[in-house]
Amino acid sequence: MPGPARTLAPGLGLPSALPALRLLHAHFGRLPWPRLLVGPASLAQDGFLVDTALAGALAARSTEGLCPLLCHADGTPLGPGARATNPKLAAVLRGAAVAPTPDLAGEALLSLLARDLGLRGPLPGPRPTLEPALQLPMPQGILSTTPSPSAGPELLARVEAALRSGGPSPDPCLLVPRAPVTPGSGVLATIDSSGSVLLLTSSLNSSFGSGHLSPSTGVLLSDLVAESASEGWACPLVLHGGSDDTEADVLGLVASGNPVVARVTTRALLSRLAGPQAQAQQQQQGPTQSPSICGQGTLLQVAAHAEHAHVSSVPSGCCTFQGF
């Protein structure tokens, strides 16, 4: 389900994560939807402790637009060990827990945002949709990914070209050039023993997004809008070992935040398919010579085999055996 950026107001992205997750649950969820929001609502209400990295980022910039979430009552930024709470967001989540449909969950959030921003007239509705996956039959199974605006089409083209040429070369791992502009983003990957996979990417585009906190919702709005969205910044894939075998091996890979994620993900996939012997051969050739490149981002891998699930991460610029 790709998520094209939509504009709420000039320079402000439209939040769509909540209705998108509600839509996914309506089609694939098993636990009651209200139960799933108990933990997030409690976390928003009780808050979290600010760590050193966040405190340093807050101290380096103005807190204008971020209060009261990340500020003391006098407007100064929260320091290490301070607790950041978000009761407004907790209330939004509790309301979404009882929304009967994804549309109503999104519309309730949108009406509060519109009131905060003084918007009038018809607003762009956060109406996520389920799109058919792009698929590529392979000897090892069926490879599935998301259509544009993700990097899925580029990913399939790279994999198909590599398979035609005989797979990855035995050379040491490819160095990934540092991207001049990289959207700040987060990735989540999880899998269960039945082979159900969730690969999720989300982004505010930059560290604090637009720097505008909606007072009625507690939502920090992104500046990832249609005009500025980097094409292909997210790249998920799922490889299912058989089209009709419920016990077949399943592999999921997801990365985001870098224009070259399709290249990195392709390399990780082909190395995985080459088997332990090829990875051992790469390891004997030595690790990558550029640690700074290894730290650019993380590619998450999840796999299910014989009812056992495994989750691991791969630094996005490194050989895939590093970081497992």
Q: Which of the pair, 44 or 26, is modelled with greater confidence?
A: 44
Alpha-carbon span 196 to 252, nearest angstrom? 10
As a residue count, the chain comes to 324
Whole-model pTM: value is 0.78
pLDDT(320) > 60:
no
Higher pLDDT, 309 or 100: 100
Q: What percent of the chain has pLDDT over 70?
A: 69
The burial class, CB within 10 Å (0-12 / 13-18 / 19+), for 74 is: exposed
The whole-number pLDDT of residue 231 equals 52
pLDDT the model gives residue 222: 87
CA of 168: how far to CAs of 106, 159, 221, 260, 313, in Å?
44, 10, 41, 17, 20
Q: How many CA atoms lie within 13 A of 22 on its CB side?
A: 24
Give the lowest-confidence range in 78-87, 230-239, 303-312. Answer: 303-312
Q: Is the pLDDT of residue 247 over 80?
A: no
The one-letter code for the residue type at 56 is G
Please state the rounded mean pLDDT for residues 14-41.
Answer: 89
Is the distance from CB of 262 to CB of 38 less than 8 angstroms? Answer: no
pLDDT band at 287 (very low <50, low <70, confident <90, very high): very low
